[in-house]
Amino acid sequence: MIYSRIAGTGSYLPPRVMTNDDFAKRLDTSDAWIRERTGIVQRHIADEAQCSSDLALEASRAALQASGTPAQDVDLIVVATSTPDYIFPSTACLLQAKLGVRGCAAFDVQAVCSGFVYALATADTFLKSGQYRKALVVGAEVFSRILDWDDRATCVLFGDGAGAVVLAADSKPGIHASVLHADGSQVGLLSVPGNVCKGQIVGSPFLQMNGQGVFKFAVKVLDEVGRETVSRAGMSMEEVDWLIPHQANVRILDATARKLGIAPEKLVSTVDHHGNTSAASVPLALDEFVRSGKIRPGHRVLMEGVGGGFTWGASLATM
């Protein structure tokens, strides 16, 4: 039996930090409101010259180095992003070129804030089938580009960044189970309902969200899919060492851990200093906890995503 395991992690945050007070200077909001309702204190914002592939490149280099994998050994690159550099080619192809390699398969996955879990499950399936031996799985976003900076209800929530893992084929798991779901009828909860036609923007180029609707949906499905994934792995919730839900709002994280019966000290929370980085949020949090020595080899990590689509999913891995 072939499994895939996470052989190395990496991440990158653009240097520019924006605090809640920076928003309060130009909008009718406050540090107190943002902290209390979301837990967010600061977020990183990319320079105009930095694209998702640039952030992905830095995170990928760190993950490749951590796993001792030369870029030319990668058979598959999957990038999860909703803020691609171009309409086409994929950000994965642009990343491949920036890594200085060619020939391996490369494509993007579009599942918004569930994107990393979708990408991980996709790469895991390729490795388990024996088709590929090494995959680079990346979540990279510049959500700052699709925010209406005058809309206080959305612009304070998001940040930019990238996280990556190298998945390697192994005789032991690794990834025990992944579960993915979607419900396209919930498109109205969270979307960027626009496109480009004949050189003009059609619809809206900005993120639109029903905040309370998203909140309720997220707490419900993160509980359900967490249970489904642990059960599919043939394990119990007590065997989970770390829970990494999509980093959207500290109240969503706390409610999810509580509903799953996972102790607060096992909950990975980085939303206070990253904000919501969509597909990058789970691998950014994972890398931070791996590098700080909290998540160690042998630990079991339940990663969960939820976001536009609506999409949701989870993956349970032994590090």
Beta-carbon-side half-sphere exposure of residue 208 (alpha carbons within 13 Å): 11
In the residue annotation, 104 being an active-site residue is answered as no
Minimum distance, C-beta of residue 208 to ligand UT7, in the bound complex (Å): 11
Among 17, 33, 128, 259, binds ligand UT7 (CB under 6 A): 33
- In the complex with ligand UT7, the residue whose CB is nearer, 126 or 215, is 215
Give me the phi and psi of 246, to 5 degrees please: -50, 130
Residues forming beta bridges with residue 278, ordered by sequence position: none
Vertex 25: Cα angle to 40 and 213 (nearest 5): 40
Instruction: Confirm or reject binding of residue 214 to ligand UT7 (CB under 6 A).
Output: yes
- In the complex with ligand UT7, the residue whose CB is nearer, 57 or 209, is 209
Instruction: Confirm or reject binding of residue 171 to ligand UT7 (CB under 6 A).
Output: no
Catalytic residue (choose from 104, 113, 155, 249): 113
Residue 67, classified by CB atoms within 10 Å of its CB into exposed (0-12), middle (13-18) or buried (19+), is: buried
Instruction: Confirm or reject binding of residue 156 to ligand UT7 (CB under 6 A).
Output: yes
Give me the phi and psi of 241, to 5 degrees please: -85, -35
In the residue annotation, 51 being an active-site residue is answered as no
Torsion sign across C-alpha atoms 257, 262, 267, 272 = positive
Instruction: Confirm or reject binding of residue 300 to ligand UT7 (CB under 6 A).
Output: no
Instruction: Confirm or reject binding of residue 40 to ligand UT7 (CB under 6 A).
Output: no
In terms of Cα–Cα distance, which of 241, 169, 135, 134 is closest to 5?
169
Catalytic residue (choose from 20, 104, 176, 246): 246
- Which residue numbers are catalytic? 113, 246, 276
- What residue ranges bind ligand UT7 (CB under 6 A)? 29, 33-34, 37-38, 113, 152-153, 156, 190, 209, 211-212, 214-215, 248-249, 276, 307
